[in-house]
C-alpha cells in the first residue's frame, strides 16, 4: 500500500494545500502539451523529486503492474495509429513514426500523473492534510470522515487478520485457493467485520457526541496550519504558471 | 445532584424493561460504584444519566441532573455536564494523535487555541499522559488509549464522570494504572464519579456507596467494604500425569527484526489446565498462534501430538487444536446458533450430532434458531466456545475467555473447563482476571517481553511475581 513515509525534506514540509495545488496544476497542464518530449521531461522531473524527497523510486509499489500496463498501452498505441511516416509495414501490422511518438506520449503522461500522485501521498501526513483541508474551508464533518477513516484503517487490518485466523481454527481452509473457498472467505470475513464495525459506530457515536461534535457550524483547531513564505511562493508560482500557460495556449482571446 | 425517582426505561421495540423503577439519588462529589451481572441495566442507567437515550426508547418516572430532566435536554447540553468513558479504548478515539484527541471536544466548543493548550497541559498532567501528547494513537497500548480517552473527557470539564467498565479490556498492570488515575481524579477534583465495574477490589477504598443491580432493578445499596469471595475453589488434582501433547523446544520468533518470543521451552500434558498470564504485548497470543501453526518458529520447534508444526498447515492443526479467539464478533459466521455450531464440523467434514448436549453444557439450549447477533455478550462468548467444542479437538485454547463476563458466565465456563479436563482434554487459557487465578489451582505460566518468567504451581508463581513487583496479577490473600 502506498502510504505516508516520515522524512524531513522540503517536500515533506510544504503545506499540504500548496502541494495539492501544485499537483493539480502539474497533472492538469500535462493534458495540454502535445509534445512527447515535454511528457518525458515531466516524468523525469517527478522521478527527480522522488530522489530529493529522500523516498527514492524503489518505494513505488506495484512495479510489475506498471511495467505490464505501460507495455500494453504502448503496444496498443503503436498498433492502432496508422498515420505518419511508415517504419514497418507487414501484413496488417503497420508501425509509424506518429504511432511511436504517441505511444511514448501516452505512457509517460500516464506514469507522470500516477507517480506524482503517489509522491504526494508518500510525502503528506494524512492527518495534516485533513486538518489543512478543514482549515481551508472544507466543512469539518467531511474532514472528520476522513480522519476517522484513517484512524480505523489499522484497526480493520488487524481485525481482518483475527477473523482469518478464526476461520482457519474452524476449518475454513486457506491453504488451498479456489473460487469456492474465495467466495466463502469473502462472505465469512465480511459478516464478522460488519458486526464489529457496528459496535465501533455505537461507541464512537457516544464518544463524539459526548464531546459535542457538531454543536456549532464551525470549530477551532489547536494546530494552525501555517502558510510560510515558501508556501506563498509556491502558490503564486503555480498561479503565474497557470495564467501564463493559458495565455500561451489560448493567446489574446484569453484575456 | 442526580435524582432518580421511580424511573423505568425500555428500548424501542422491546417489551422488556431494561430499567425497572429505579430510585437513587447521588450527591455532588460522591463516588458511586455500580455492580451487577451483564444485562442487568447498569450501562443503560449510565447512558440515561448522560442523556444519550432520549430518542432510543420509552421512559417513565423522573431522572434529573441538577434539577434538569435529562430526557428533555439536547444531547450537547447534557454532554457539557456529564462525561462518559466507555469500555472499549479502541472505539472511542476518533483522531490520529493524542494531542488532537484531548483537544477534540474543546475545539468543538470553539474554545480559543490558547485556552485549549492550557487545559491540555492541566489535564494531561492530572491523568499522567503529558509525555504521550505528540504520539500517534496507533503506537499506544490499550491502557494508554484508555487514559487518553479519560483526559479527553476530563478536558470538557464535566461535573459528573461515568466510567462504564473502563478496564475490562486491559491487563492487570494497566487496570491498576487506570484505577490509580481514577483515585487521582477523586483526590484533585470534586467531580461526582460513577464507576460501573466487576473488579471491586481496587475500588473498595474509594467508594462512598456501592449499588448492586439485578435484572433492571436495584437490589441493594450499601456503604460497607466487605471482601467478596469470588469463584468456587477447585483443585485441578490430576497431577499432570498424562502423556505430553504439546512440546515446545527453544522456540524463538522474530518479526520485522523484532524479537517477539525468545527461547520458549514448554510441555503440556493430556488433561492439564494451563493458565497463561502476562501484560498485553508480552507475546501470549503469538505463542498460542504458534500452536495453531499460524506462525512458524524462527528458531526451535513446536510439536503438537508429535507432529512438527512446520510440516503441517493450519487446517490440519486446527483439527487437534481448537482456538477460541478474543473478540466474539470476529468468530461468529452464521445466521443461527445451530448453523454456527455446525460451521466447524461442516468445514472439517466430520459428522456432528451432539448439538443438544453441547448447547446444554453452555446453557444455550432453546437458542438453536436464534440469531447469534441477538445474543448477549456473555452468550456470544459461550457460543464461541461451544462452536469449537463441536469440532471436538483434543486441545482447546481460550484467549481471554472471561473478558467482559459477569460472575455467572465465568462460573459456567470454569465448570465446563473442569469437566473437559476430567475427560482428558487439555485446556489452555489466557486470563487477566486476578480473581480467577487466585481462586484456582491451575498451572500458571507467566510471560514477560516474550520470555517465560515463571511456570508452575500458583504459590511458586506468586512468589516470583512478588519479587518482580507484578503482584497485581493476584489478589492479596
Query: Mean pLDDT, chain B, as a whole number?
Result: 89
Lowest mean pLDDT among A74-78, B149-153, B247-251, B406-410: B406-410
pLDDT the model gives residue B452: 92
A254 pLDDT above the threshold of 60: no
Cβ–Cβ below 8 Å for A196 and B329: yes
Give residue-wise pLDDT tens across range A155-164. 998 899 999 8
How many CB atoms sit inside 10 A of residue B199's CB? 19
Q: In angstroms, rounded to a whole number, what is the distance separating the alpha carbons of residues A204 and B52?
A: 13
Mean pLDDT of the B185-211 span: 89
Domain range list for chain B: 2-222, 244-473
Lowest mean pLDDT among B395-409, B420-434, B461-475: B461-475
Do A112 and A167 have their domain in common? no
Mean pLDDT of the A41-69 span: 89
Q: In angstroms, rounded to a whole number, what is the distance separating the alpha carbons of residues B387 and B392?
A: 9
pLDDT the model gives residue B193: 96
Q: Which residues of A160-170 are buried (b: 16+ CB within 10 A; e: fewer)?
A: eebbbbbbbbb
- The reply to whether ipTM tops 0.90 is no
Structural domain contains residue A130: no
Do A20 and A112 have their domain in common? yes
Interface of A with B in 185-204 (CB under 8 A): 188, 191-192, 195-196, 199-200, 202-204
Instruction: Find the CB nearest B108 among A131, A199, A215.
Output: A215
Pick the residue with more confidence: B227 or A95? A95
pLDDT the model gives residue B234: 47
CATH class for domain B2-222?
alpha beta
Q: In angstroms, rounded to a whole number, what is the distance separating the alpha carbons of residues B383 and B389?
A: 10
- Helices A16-30 and A36-52, axial angle in degrees (round to 10): 160
Say if A9 is an interface residue toward chain B (CB within 8 Å).
no
Question: Which domain covers residue A185, as residue numbers?
Answer: 137-209
A138-142, B73-77, B473-477: which has the highest mean pLDDT?
A: A138-142
Nearest-5° Cα angle at B411, B409 to B415: 120
Say if A163 is an interface residue toward chain B (CB within 8 Å).
yes
Interface of A with B in 74-103 (CB under 8 A): none
B324 pLDDT above the threshold of 90: yes
Mean pLDDT of the A149-178 span: 85
Domains identified in chain A, total number: 2
Do A15 and A92 have their domain in common? yes
Q: Which CATH superfamily is domain B244-473 in?
A: P-loop containing nucleotide triphosphate hydrolases (3.40.50.300)
Mean pLDDT of the B388-416 span: 90
pLDDT the model gives residue A29: 87
Chain A closest-CA separation from residue B108 CA (Å)? 5
Task: Name which of A249, A200, A177 is nearest B86 in CA terms.
Answer: A200
Do A96 and A187 have their domain in common? no
Give residue-wise pLDDT tens across range B280-314. 889 999 999 999 999 999 999 999 998 999 998 88
pLDDT category of residue A113 using cuts at 50, 70 and 90: very high
Say if A6 is an interface residue toward chain B (CB within 8 Å).
no
Residue of A nearest to B107 (CA): A220
Distances (CA, A) of B119 to A218, B105, B132, B148: 20, 11, 15, 14
Intra-chain end-to-end CA distance of chain B, in Å = 38
Mean pLDDT of the A34-61 span: 89
Do A119 and A142 have their domain in common? no
Cβ–Cβ below 8 Å for A218 and B110: yes
pLDDT the model gives residue A250: 74
Do A61 and A183 have their domain in common? no
Chain B closest-CA separation from residue A64 CA (Å)? 24
pLDDT category of residue B466 using cuts at 50, 70 and 90: confident
pLDDT the model gives residue B228: 53
Mean pLDDT of the B453-461 span: 89
Mean pLDDT of the B22-48 span: 91
Do A45 and A91 have their domain in common? yes
| Burial of B172 per CB tally in 10 Å (0-12, 13-18, 19+) | buried
Give residue-wise pLDDT tens across range B119-177. 999 999 999 999 999 999 999 999 999 999 999 999 999 999 999 999 888 888 898 89
Cβ–Cβ below 8 Å for B92 and A206: yes
Cβ–Cβ below 8 Å for B137 and A151: yes
Contacts of A196 in chain B (CB under 8 A): 327, 329-330
B470 pLDDT above the threshold of 70: yes
Q: By percentage, how much of chain B surpasses pLDDT 90?
A: 62
DSSP A59: G
Structural domain contains residue A215: no
pLDDT category of residue A175 using cuts at 50, 70 and 90: low
Give residue-wise pLDDT tens across range B352-376. 888 899 999 999 988 999 999 888 8
Say if A144 is an interface residue toward chain B (CB within 8 Å).
yes
Chain A closest-CA separation from residue B327 CA (Å)? 9
Task: Name which of A211, A136, A134, A220 is nearest B114 in CA terms.
Answer: A220
B81 pLDDT above the threshold of 70: yes
DSSP B453: E
pLDDT the model gives residue A184: 81
Contacts of A167 in chain B (CB under 8 A): 333
Q: In angstroms, rounded to a whole number, what is the distance separating the alpha carbons of residues A159 and A161?
A: 5
pLDDT category of residue A176 using cuts at 50, 70 and 90: low
Do A249 and A198 have their domain in common? no
pLDDT the model gives residue B477: 52
Say if A123 is an interface residue toward chain B (CB within 8 Å).
no
Structural domain contains residue A165: yes
Cβ–Cβ below 8 Å for B391 and A170: yes
pLDDT the model gives residue A149: 92
Intra-chain end-to-end CA distance of chain A, in Å = 44
Which long-range contacts does A151-159 make (Cβ < 8 Å, 24+ apart)? A151/B93, A151/B94, A151/B95, A151/B96, A151/B137, A152/A200, A154/B138, A155/A200, A155/B90, A156/A193, A156/A197, A159/A193, A159/A196, A159/B327, A159/B330
How many CB pairs lie under 8 A apart between chains A and B? 181
Can you name the residues that pair with B125 across neighbouring β-strands?
none
Cβ–Cβ below 8 Å for A212 and B90: no
Give residue-wise pLDDT tens across range B237-266. 444 556 889 999 999 999 888 999 999 999
Say if A148 is an interface residue toward chain B (CB within 8 Å).
yes
Give residue-wise pLDDT tens across range A177-231. 778 778 888 888 888 998 889 889 999 999 999 999 999 999 999 988 878 888 8
Instruction: Find the CB nearest B333 among A192, A209, A219.
Output: A192
Task: Name which of A136, A151, A71, A65 is nearest A106 in CA terms.
Answer: A71
Residue of A nearest to B314 (CA): A168
Structural domain contains residue A240: yes
Chain A closest-CA separation from residue B409 CA (Å)? 21
Pick the residue with more confidence: B124 or B235? B124
Cβ–Cβ below 8 Å for A151 and B94: yes
Contacts of B333 in chain A (CB under 8 A): 167, 170, 188, 191-192
Mean pLDDT of the A77-105 span: 87
What lies within 8 Å, CB to CB, of A22 at 6+ separation is A234, A238
pLDDT category of residue B236 using cuts at 50, 70 and 90: very low
Do A84 and A176 have their domain in common? no
How many CB atoms sit inside 10 A of residue B394's CB? 15
Can you name the residues that pair with B212 across neighbouring β-strands?
B35, B220
Instruction: Find the CB nearest B315 among A171, A200, A218.
Output: A171
Contacts of A191 in chain B (CB under 8 A): 332-333
Do A241 and A116 have their domain in common? yes
Cα B86 versus chain centre, distance = 12
Structural domain contains residue A245: yes
A173 pLDDT above the threshold of 80: no
Instruction: Find the CB nearest A206 among B84, B329, B388.
Output: B84
B472 pLDDT above the threshold of 80: yes
pLDDT the model gives residue B233: 47
pLDDT the model gives residue A191: 87
pLDDT category of residue A251 using cuts at 50, 70 and 90: low
pLDDT category of residue B433 using cuts at 50, 70 and 90: confident
Answer whether B215's CB lies under 8 Å from B20's CB.
yes
Do A141 and A29 have their domain in common? no
Mean pLDDT of the A158-174 span: 86
Cβ–Cβ below 8 Å for B93 and A211: no
Q: In angstroms, rounded to a whole number, what is the distance separating the alpha carbons of residues B155 and A210?
A: 12
Q: In angstroms, rounded to a whole number, what is the distance separating the alpha carbons of residues B191 and B179?
A: 16
DSSP A52: H
Q: In angstroms, rounded to a whole number, what is the distance separating the alpha carbons of residues A83 and A71?
A: 21
pLDDT the model gives residue B476: 64
Do A188 and A118 have their domain in common? no
Amino acid at each position: 500500500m502506498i502510504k505516508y513515509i516520515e522524512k524531513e525534506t522540503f517536500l515533506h514540509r510544504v503545506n499540504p494545500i500548496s502541494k495539492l495545488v501544485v499537483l493539480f496544476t502539474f497533472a492538469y497542464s500535462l493534458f495540454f502539451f502535445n509534445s512527447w518530449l515535454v511528457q518525458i521531461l515531466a516524468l523525469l522531473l517527478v522521478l527527480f523529486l522522488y530522489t530529493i524527497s529522500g523516498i527514492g523510486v524503489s518505494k513505488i509499489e506495484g512495479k510489475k503492474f506498471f511495467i505490464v500496463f505501460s507495455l500494453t498501452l504502448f503496444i496498443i498505441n503503436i498498433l492502432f495509429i496508422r498515420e505518419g511516416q511508415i517504419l514497418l509495414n507487414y501484413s496488417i501490422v503497420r508501425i509509424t513514426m506518429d504511432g511511436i511518438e504517441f505511444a511514448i506520449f501516452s505512457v509517460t503522461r500516464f506514469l507522470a500523473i500516477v507517480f506524482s500522485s503517489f509522491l504526494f501521498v508518500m510525502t503528506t501526513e494524512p492527518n495534516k492534510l485533513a486538518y489543512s483541508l478543514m482549515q481551508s474551508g472544507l466543512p469539518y464533518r467531511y474532514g472528520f470522515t476522513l480522519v476517522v477513516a484513517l484512524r480505523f484503517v489499522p484497526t480493520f487490518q488487524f481485525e481482518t487478520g483475527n477473523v482469518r485466523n478464526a476461520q482457519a481454527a474452524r476449518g475454513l481452509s486457506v491453504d488451498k485457493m479456489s473460487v469456492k473457498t474465495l467466495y466463502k472467505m469473502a462472505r465469512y470475513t465480511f459478516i464478522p467485520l460488519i458486526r464489529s464495525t457496528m459496535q465501533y459506530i455505537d461507541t464512537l457515536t457516544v464518544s463524539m457526541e459526548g464531546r459535542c461534535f457538531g454543536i456549532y457550524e464551525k470549530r477551532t483547531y489547536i494546530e494552525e496550519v501555517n502558510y510560510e513564505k515558501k508556501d506563498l511562493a509556491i502558490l503564486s508560482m503555480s498561479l503565474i504558471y497557470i495564467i501564463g500557460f493559458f495565455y500561451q495556449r489560448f493567446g489574446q482571446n484569453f484575456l | 445532584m442526580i435524582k432518580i425517582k421511580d424511573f423505568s426505561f425500555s428500548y424501542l421495540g422491546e417489551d422488556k424493561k431494561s430499567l425497572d423503577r429505579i430510585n437513587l439519588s447521588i450527591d455532588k462529589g460522591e463516588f458511586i460504584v455500580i455492580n451487577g451481572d451483564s444485562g442487568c441495566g447498569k450501562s443503560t442507567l449510565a447512558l440515561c444519566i448522560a442523556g444519550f437515550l432520549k430518542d432510543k426508547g420509552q421512559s417513565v418516572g423522573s431522572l434529573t441532573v441538577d434539577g434538569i430532566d435529562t430526557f428533555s435536554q439536547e444531547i450537547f447540553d447534557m454532554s457539557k455536564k456529564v462525561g462518559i468513558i466507555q469500555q472499549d479504548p479502541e472505539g472511542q478515539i476518533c483522531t490520529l494523535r493524542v494531542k488532537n484527541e484531548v483537544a477534540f471536544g474543546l475545539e468543538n466548543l470553539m474554545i480559543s487555541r490558547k485556552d485549549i493548550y492550557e487545559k491540555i497541559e492541566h489535564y494531561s498532567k492530572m491523568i499522567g499522559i503529558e509525555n504521550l501528547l505528540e504520539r500517534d494513537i496507533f503506537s499506544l497500548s490499550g491502557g494508554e488509549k484508555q487514559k487518553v480517552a479519560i483526559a479527553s473527557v476530563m478536558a470538557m470539564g464535566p461535573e459528573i464522570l461515568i466510567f462504564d467498565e473502563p478496564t475490562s479490556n486491559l491487563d492487570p498492570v494497566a487496570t491498576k494504572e487506570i484505577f490509580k488515575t481514577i483515585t487521582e481524579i477523586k483526590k484533585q477534583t470534586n467531580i461526582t464519579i460513577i464507576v460501573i465495574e466487576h473488579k471491586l477490589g481496587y475500588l473498595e477504598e474509594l467508594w462512598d456507596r456501592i449499588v448492586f443491580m439485578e435484572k433492571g432493578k436495584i437490589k441493594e445499596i450499601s456503604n460497607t467494604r466487605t471482601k467478596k469471595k469470588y469463584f468456587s475453589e477447585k483443585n485441578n488434582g490430576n497431577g499432570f500425569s498424562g502423556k505430553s501433547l504439546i512440546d515446545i523446544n527453544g522456540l524463538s520468533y522474530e518479526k520485522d527484526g523484532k524479537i517477539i518470543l525468545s527461547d520458549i521451552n514448554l510441555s503440556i500434558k493430556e488433561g492439564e489446565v494451563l493458565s497463561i498470564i502476562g501484560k498485553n504485548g508480552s507475546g501470549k497470543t503469538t505463542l498460542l498462534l504458534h500452536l495453531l501453526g499460524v506462525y512458524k518458529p524462527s528458531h526451535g520447534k513446536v510439536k503438537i501430538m508429535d507432529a512438527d508444526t512446520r510440516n503441517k498447515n493450519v487446517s490440519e492443526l486446527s483439527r487437534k487444536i481448537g482456538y477460541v479467539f478474543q473478540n466474539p464478533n470476529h468468530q461468529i459466521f452464521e445466521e443461527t446458533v445451530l448453523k454456527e455450531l455446525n460451521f466447524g464440523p461442516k468445514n472439517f467434514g466430520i459428522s456432528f450430532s451432539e448439538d443438544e448436549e453441547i448447547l446444554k453444557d453452555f446453557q444455550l439450549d432453546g437458542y438453536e434458531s436464534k440469531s447469534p447477533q441477538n445474543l448477549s455478550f456473555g452468550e456470544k462468548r459461550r457460543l464461541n466456545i461451544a462452536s469449537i467444542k463441536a469440532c471436538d479437538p483434543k486441545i482447546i485454547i481460550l484467549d481471554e475467555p472471561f473478558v467482559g463476563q459477569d460472575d455467572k458466565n465465568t462460573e459456567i465456563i470454569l465448570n465446563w473447563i473442569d469437566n473437559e479436563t476430567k475427560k482428558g482434554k487439555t485446556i489452555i487459557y489466557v486470563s487477566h482476571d486476578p480473581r480467577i487465578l487466585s481462586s484456582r489451582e491451575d498451572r500458571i505460566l507467566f510471560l514477560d517481553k516474550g520470555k517465560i518468567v515463571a511456570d508452575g504451581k500458583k504459590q511458586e508463581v506468586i512468589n516470583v511475581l512478588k519479587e518482580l513487583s507484578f503482584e497485581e496479577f493476584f489478589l492479596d490473600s
